[in-house]
Structure formats: C-alpha cells, structure tokens
Amino acid sequence: MLEKIGMPGFETLSAPDATVLRLLDEILSVNPAPVVYEIGVGVGATTVEIAARMANGGQLLLFSREADVVELARDLRARGFSNVVDAWGSPGNTYSGYHFELARGFVADALPRFDLAYVDGGHVFHLDAAAASVLKELCRPGGFMIFDDWNWSLAKSPTQNPSVRSATARDYDPRQIEASHVQLVCKAIMDPDPRYEFVVLEGQSAVYRRREVSPAT
Ligand SMILES: C[S@@+](CC[C@H](N)C(=O)[O-])C[C@H]1O[C@@H](n2cnc3c(N)ncnc32)[C@H](O)[C@@H]1O
C-alpha cells in the first residue's frame, strides 16, 4: 500500500494532511500516548506520518475498507510501527462502511475514547453524518474531530461526477450531486451540539474540539 504514495495515479492521495499533523503535534506535546482514529486511509500518506509522530505511543485505529486496512497495517508493522489497530475495516459491500463499524464498536463498548479523529472517507452525508454522530460520543473532553474536504462534491469529483460515473446520477439526486456533504454534516450534526466548539476552517479541514466541561443541558 505505502509503495503507491507518489506514484502516477495516486497524486491526489499522496500528501499527508497538514492540519492533522499540526494538531497531533499539539496533542503529543502534552500526551505521549494518545488514541487517534483515521477514517478513510487512501494509500496511507497521512497514516504513515501519524504513525511516525506517535512513535508507538498510544493507539492508531484505522477505519476504511478491510482489505486496505489490513494491507496498510501490515506495511506499517514492517516499518516498526506496532500500535496500529486493523480490526475495524469494513467489507466492500455497497452499504458497508466505517459508519457501521463505529456504531457496532461503540455499542459493544469495544472502542477506546479518542484524542483525535480524522474523518476523510466517502464525504457523503449518509456515511459521514452517521459516523459523526457516533464519533461525538467517543471523543474525549479536549479531543479533536477533523472533517476533510469542506468543498468537495460529487459534481466536482474527478472520479464520481456523473459524466465519468453514470451510476452517480442514478444513486444521487441533482441537489445531492451539487452539495458539499461535509458542510452539511458539520452544520447539521456538529454545530448544534453544545459539547463541541468549532475551532477553525483550515484549508479544506473543519476542526471541532470537545469542550473540557460539557455545558449543562
Ligand atoms: C480520500 S481517501 C482518504 C485519504 C487519506 N485519509 C489520506 O490522508 O491520505 C478516502 C478513503 O475512504 C475510503 N472509503 C470511502 N467510502 C468508504 C466506506 N463506505 N467504507 C470504508 N471506507 C470507505 C476509501 O476507500 C478511501 O480509502
């Protein structure tokens, strides 16, 4: 998996996310053993940098298609990173995904509370609204949630717009094709929740932080 970084065809997946690494450095300066979730791994460009910074402290949980998670974790172990958890990959079925694995893990009390979650998966509302709803319950006070691709839409996607993928026009209506689903998730699921503060929109990444003390309801 990691050998794909920088190779032709993987250009858009080859740069690590700067906001994730900046916030991780901030967390590591006070907590050498944080719990980090990456939701959607691509070819591991951000994952490998996260693992290097964590230097085997804490836990790095990967949520993506299971074949990718297993291959990436194997590559990372071969580089000496032993704190990568590959138990949360999802099958390749149409309606399978990290949203379901998160809910399953939360209900079973099988997922550790996290300090940082990087949400960079399918970027569509039905996946990410569900994922965000569960992630909000798993975030430690003071922890961060980062939503990537603020301006992404199916219409703008070079691989998913209806002119290159006809199924998109069948699966989504025209409003869904034009909309930024990440913005909808943030505005519908994150902004109304008084436990969370919006920190910054940095490039394409919206950053939320769980307040140390939840406001009285
Ligand atoms: C943009 S890439 C992630 C890039 C990566 N975070 C990075 O920084 O390099 C999106 C990832 O989400 C995964 N993904 C999309 N839909 C998914 C689903 N329903 N279940 C699991 N993984 C999914 C894709 O397979 C892909 O690995």
Q: How do residues 138-160 score in pLDDT, each as one tens digit?
A: 999 999 999 999 999 999 999 99
User: Is the minimum distance from the CB of 64 to ligand 1 under 6 angstroms?
Assistant: yes
Six-digit token pair at 48?
A: 């490998």
Say if CB 61 and CB 85 are below 8 A apart. yes
User: Is the minimum distance from the CB of 45 to ligand 1 under 6 angstroms?
Assistant: yes
Report how far residue 119's alpha carbon sits from residue 110's, in angstroms, rounded to the nearest whole number.
Answer: 19
Give the closest residue (by CA) to ligand 1 atom 20. Answer: 97
Close Cβ partners of 23 (under 8 Å, ≥ 6 residues apart)? 116, 144, 146, 207
Q: Where in the chain is the domain with CATH 3.40.50.150?
A: 2-148+184-210
pTM summary value: 0.97
Give the closest residue (by CA) to ligand 1 atom 16. Answer: 122
Residues 40-78 pLDDT 10s: 999 999 999 999 999 999 999 999 999 999 999 999 999
CATH number among 3.30.420.40, 3.40.50.150, 3.40.50.1580, 3.30.565.10, domain 2-148+184-210: 3.40.50.150
* 3-class DSSP assignment, residue 72: helix
Say if CB 189 and CB 119 are below 8 A apart. no
Q: How high is the pLDDT of residue 215? A: 78
The secondary element (H helix, E strand) that includes residue 130 is helix 125-138
Residues 96-142 pLDDT 10s: 999 999 999 999 999 999 999 999 999 999 999 999 999 999 999 99
